[in-house]
Chains A and B, each alone.
Chain A
Amino acid sequence: MLKLLSPANREVLFMGNEAIARGALEAGVNVASGYPGTPSSEIIESLATVGKERNLYVEWSTNEKVALEVAAAASFAGLRSLCAMKQNGVNVASDFLLHLASSGTRGGIVLVTCEDPGALSSVNEGDSRYFARMLEIPLLEPANFQEAKDLTRWAFELSEEIRNIVVLRSVTRMSHASGNVICGKLPVKFRKAHFVYDGSIMDPLRGHVISTPVVAKHSLQQGKLKRATVLFENSPFNDYSGPKKPELLLITSSACFLYSREAIDMLNLQKRTGILKMDCTWPLPPKLLKKHLNSTDKIMIVEEVLPFLEENLKTLAAGMGKEIGIKTFYGKMDGTLPSVGELNPDVVAAALAKIMKVKHKSLPAAYTKELQKAAALIPARELTFCPGCPHRASFWNIHNAIALDGREGFVCGDIGCYAMGALFPATGYHTTPTLHSMGSGTGLASGFAKLAAFGFDKPILTVCGDSTFYHAVIPALINAQHNRADITFIVLDNSGTAMTGFQPHPGLTVSAMGELVPSVDIAGICKAIGANVAISDPFDLDGTCKILNSFVADKGSLNVLIMRQICALSPEKKGKKIFDVKVNEALCLGESCGCNRLCTRIFRCPALIWDRSKKKAVVDEVICAGCGVCYSICPQKAIIRTEAEKK
């Protein structure tokens, strides 16, 4: 049986995201939608695996805003729904979220945001908790795996209690780590959908679901928030442990609770410090906090990434100054804790040791010194594309076309595996100086192209993956066409959302739940917009470069090149080599004039290795994906490729 469907009372090892999914199942979730993004993707993925058994509709939507709209429709019809995304996905969804929060919801609806402090797999470390405050909706943050499940389940109840959407926030160390969770009951009854709109406009359950009359609905919304505050005052999810009168009170949430507890244990401060774990972090329950603030004069707030809790706590404390007196707060705002990046038990312990004036047994200085020396010897390893990755070939072609054109053109980068081309300049062959949010490459390119009037005569290119195309590129592309922005737009079509693990997208014919669905043709969309469209295989270096050259040189039209080649790691391709590739050492020129290690110095497929003693290139057959592209670049034809035997 599937782990996610384990019977009640069983203790199961769940990844944080699975625990969230299980919590939703226990709450009887009916609809789950999302857009893939690390560290959130496993929630929708695991729910999709039990869709049939649990009478669930699961979809990967084109973007986070649409995902939230899909989930909201279910709520309006009285069903329970969950919508999952990564931190910056909330920005995409936020316009709809603002209006949803003021129109109110019906069936329980939970927005799960999995965030990435330290940006382990993001290009930002955005903290979307501020949306809860700004849009006036409740925020929950589980602090361990059991809570990841239990709090999710409760979030649905809370949402139905106040008739508004609830945000549940996780972080990488919670979503991607695993721990034991005791399962609860799975409901046996499933809801039916009913959408009723025959009541008065202010009736939350029978009226029109709209945000007007704005002021009256706004007031209604704030009333809901007050109700949440009352529930938070007595919620068992907010929990204190430690002495009655701690010298220092740590107030913390999410994974930082685990770091804080470990730090206290490391320093043996259990008797002198206490921890207030807050799962309900917006709106803060004032009575509960007053009680704890009164127990001590020193408070340290431990959280990631921004001082959200700290700010709100200080505001609260200022308002009750007369009753609680003057406190000393330690946290991010006074520099006790770093204001950027991930925290960990060591960082918390170091801060704690300083405040409590105890010795933090960090590593001995001599050892640290040795370690630093050794670290300097380890070659700095850039991340790069996998062996056989079509993006390497694509950037090779793009680089060559730009170099040949000679006007110092450049690429506006976008989000996907191919962002590596911007993050590590040598990996993108120094073509891609900008990288922002999904779809922004095309918008930026559209803007750069209009700078010609200011003497900026460089060809502008931009890239996007197939999934990104549907997500946010289309409006920018329409903008480019309509405003006559002269750009070369390149779709790196690898047939899947490879970066986050091959979730389906609208270009494919299979849905999240494995059903056959119509695919939406990128080339057709571009043509309909009025662009000039060509399709090439990036592994065909000559052919692709020729098209690119003509596009880059062309003035006055929007040119689209779809470079199509399946990702080397895709299930269809993995392990199947097209070619067996090896180096003929007798022909290899190595570092002498005439080649100077083109393959290992510039092209840099990880499967190509420079043998220092022989002074020849060699192919690491174990990791070589057999794409054969290096054969096409070797000036000596020293790299030999032969059709691989079909296994």
Chain B
Amino acid sequence: MVSKAGKPSSQEILKKNVLNADLCTGCGACVNLCPYQVIYHDRTVQLHRCDLDDGKCRAFCPRWEIDLDLLRSSLCDSADLTPEIGAVKDYYLSRATDPKLREIAQHGGTVTALMELALTEGVIDSAIVSAGNHQQEQRGFKAIDKVSLQKNAGSKFTVSPIVAAFNQIAAENSGNVGVVATPCQALALAKMRLKPLQDDAGHIDKLKIVIGLFCGWTLAQEKFQALLLLNNINPATITGMDIPVGKKALVIKTGSGEKIISFDHVESCIREACRYCLDSTAEFADISVGSARFGNEWEEMRGWNQMIVRTARGSKLVDLALHRGILEVRKAPDGILKELKEAAAEKKRTALENIVKKSGSVKNLLYLNNSDPLVKKFMVKIKR
């Protein structure tokens, strides 16, 4: 659809360059802004045509016109910046002090513990986390207390349109908001923080804390659902999932014990968009949390997290958590940070390679800009 000014409409841009190009991350940044863009299962659907050419949907999409350099220089302290994993103020191995919380959490429970603190301290009035249903369908969920936070602890590996929930909750006038976000979702929120549009200024100011998750990929819901059924796993009985280091398999915990699906099968369910994603550590979050997965120490370390503190906001919350004794930290073993950076750099290179393969030219980096200094840095070895 063409706008009144004769330009392609915002919707058309998303449709052509993001949705139909298989770049959509399902973050939900373009959803709940208007009646036209909605999420169904984990797909972003354009319900009716809209002819506006300067819309919010396009403005916030993490897969359209991303200027990494501008985002970094505007939102981070330049002194903290690393090319591979963004801003790093502090780097820890951490876990929740409460062993009961660790029980129900994915790894060390750092994310849930920090969100609980932000809620009880009044930093935020609600936290957006991810709630799933038996079809492995995720939705952003507004948690306002410990109980609902803990109920939704643990990782779900299908995509969750978290930012759609943010759009809705921020418009509700229900106070300040914290968000648990994957890297693409954190990127969408970062785009909003740059305030590309006047009228939305009020909403993004309610965003007080973003806790990012490390992320290698997410799974496409409909495909994954089919894979589970193929393996005779009743999705309703699933209590948790993880990817143990070195196992090349997805371990699915169910009411009747663990089931293992080989990675060869799981890979076919990975969302296509993830192949073009440069970020593995949620570089635009305030705090980023991942597993403490290193080599042979997995069994011991699986109850711990890696945590990167990125912004002043993040520092404040983590310092408070340490002060209150909610989190415990230990020094990361030598070389771990280097390992993390190398892995992050590798994801960036692979993504750029895939982008070039898709576009057919080193000059066309789809949603990225080939003159962006950060992009250039990882483009070195890539030829068309």
CA distance A307 to B383 in the complex (A): 72
Contact of A403 with B55 in the complex, beta carbons under 8 Å: no
**B302 contacts A by Cβ under 8 Å:** no
The residue that A596 contacts in the complex, of B36, B38, B47, with Cβ under 8 A, is: B36
CA distance A633 to B36 in the complex (A): 11
Q: Which residues, 50 to 74 on B, are CB-close (under 8 Å) to A?
A: 50-52, 54-56
CA distance A594 to B34 in the complex (A): 4
Contact of B56 with A403 in the complex, beta carbons under 8 Å: no
CB-CB under 8 A from A49, the residues of chain B are none
Dominant SS among interface residues on chain B:
loop
**B45 contacts A by Cβ under 8 Å:** yes
Contact of A594 with B45 in the complex, beta carbons under 8 Å: no
Interface string of A392-412 (1 = CB under 8 A from B): 000000011001111000000
Contact of A406 with B43 in the complex, beta carbons under 8 Å: yes
Known: A593-B52, A593-B56, A596-B50. A404 touches B34 (CB 8 A): no
Contact of A403 with B46 in the complex, beta carbons under 8 Å: yes
Contact of A596 with B40 in the complex, beta carbons under 8 Å: no
**B379 contacts A by Cβ under 8 Å:** no
Q: Which residues, 400 to 448 on A, are CB-close (under 8 Å) to B?
A: 400, 403-406, 429
Contact of A595 with B45 in the complex, beta carbons under 8 Å: no
CA distance A594 to B197 in the complex (A): 12
Q: Which residues, 592 to 634 on A, are CB-close (under 8 Å) to B?
A: 592-596, 598, 602, 633
Contact of A593 with B34 in the complex, beta carbons under 8 Å: yes
Nearest CB in chain A: distance from B159 CB, A: 16
Q: Which residues, 170 to 223 on B, are CB-close (under 8 Å) to A?
A: 197, 199
CB-CB under 8 A from B40, the residues of chain A are 404-406
**A635 contacts B by Cβ under 8 Å:** yes
CA distance A429 to B36 in the complex (A): 13
CB-CB under 8 A from A406, the residues of chain B are 40, 43, 45
Nearest CB in chain A: distance from B164 CB, A: 14
CA distance A593 to B54 in the complex (A): 8
CA distance A364 to B38 in the complex (A): 56
CB-CB under 8 A from B43, the residues of chain A are 406
The count of chain A contact residues (Cβ–Cβ below 8 Å) is 17
Nearest CB in chain A: distance from B77 CB, A: 33
CA distance A490 to B294 in the complex (A): 57
In this complex, what residue of A is CB-closest to B47?
A: A403
In this complex, what residue of B is CB-closest to A591?
A: B52
CB-CB under 8 A from B10, the residues of chain A are 593
CA distance A598 to B37 in the complex (A): 12
Interface string of A454-473 (1 = CB under 8 A from B): 00000000000000000000
In this complex, what residue of A is CB-closest to B55?
A: A593
CB-CB under 8 A from A593, the residues of chain B are 10, 33-34, 52, 54-56, 197, 199
Known: A593-B33, A594-B34, A596-B50. A404 touches B45 (CB 8 A): yes
Known: A406-B43, A593-B33. A598 touches B52 (CB 8 A): no
The residue that B33 contacts in the complex, of A403, A594, A598, A602, with Cβ under 8 A, is: A594
The residue that A598 contacts in the complex, of B35, B38, B54, B197, with Cβ under 8 A, is: B35
Interface string of A572-607 (1 = CB under 8 A from B): 000000000000000000011111101000100000
Nearest CB in chain B: distance from A589 CB, A: 8
CA distance A400 to B40 in the complex (A): 11
In this complex, what residue of B is CB-closest to A589?
A: B34
CB-CB under 8 A from B38, the residues of chain A are 404
CA distance A403 to B35 in the complex (A): 13
CB-CB under 8 A from A429, the residues of chain B are 48
CA distance A593 to B9 in the complex (A): 11
CA distance A591 to B55 in the complex (A): 11
Contact of B45 with A635 in the complex, beta carbons under 8 Å: no
CA distance A633 to B47 in the complex (A): 12
The residue that A400 contacts in the complex, of B47, B51, B55, with Cβ under 8 A, is: B47
Contact of B33 with A596 in the complex, beta carbons under 8 Å: no
CA distance A400 to B34 in the complex (A): 15
CA distance A483 to B50 in the complex (A): 41
Interface string of B220-235 (1 = CB under 8 A from A): 0000000000000000
CB-CB under 8 A from A403, the residues of chain B are 45-48
Contact of A595 with B56 in the complex, beta carbons under 8 Å: no
30 contacts between A and B (CB under 8 A): A400-B47, A403-B45, A403-B46, A403-B47, A404-B40, A404-B45, A405-B40, A406-B40, A406-B43, A406-B45, A429-B48, A591-B52, A592-B199, A593-B33, A593-B34, A593-B54, A593-B197, A593-B199, A594-B56, A595-B35, A596-B50, A596-B51, A596-B52, A598-B34, A598-B35, A598-B36, A598-B48, A602-B48, A602-B49, A633-B35
9 cross-chain pairs, A with B, having the tightest CB-CB distances, nearest first: A404-B40, A593-B55, A635-B35, A602-B48, A594-B34, A598-B35, A596-B50, A403-B47, A593-B52
Measuring CB to CB, which residues of chain B are less than 8 angstroms from any residue of chain A?
Answer: 10, 33-36, 38, 40, 43, 45-52, 54-56, 197, 199
Measuring CB to CB, which residues of chain A are less than 8 angstroms from any residue of chain B?
Answer: 399-400, 403-406, 429, 591-596, 598, 602, 633, 635
Q: A406-B43, A593-B52, A596-B52 are in contact. List 15 more A-B contacts (CB 8 A).
A: A399-B48, A400-B47, A403-B47, A403-B48, A406-B45, A429-B48, A591-B52, A593-B55, A593-B199, A596-B50, A598-B35, A598-B48, A602-B48, A633-B35, A635-B34
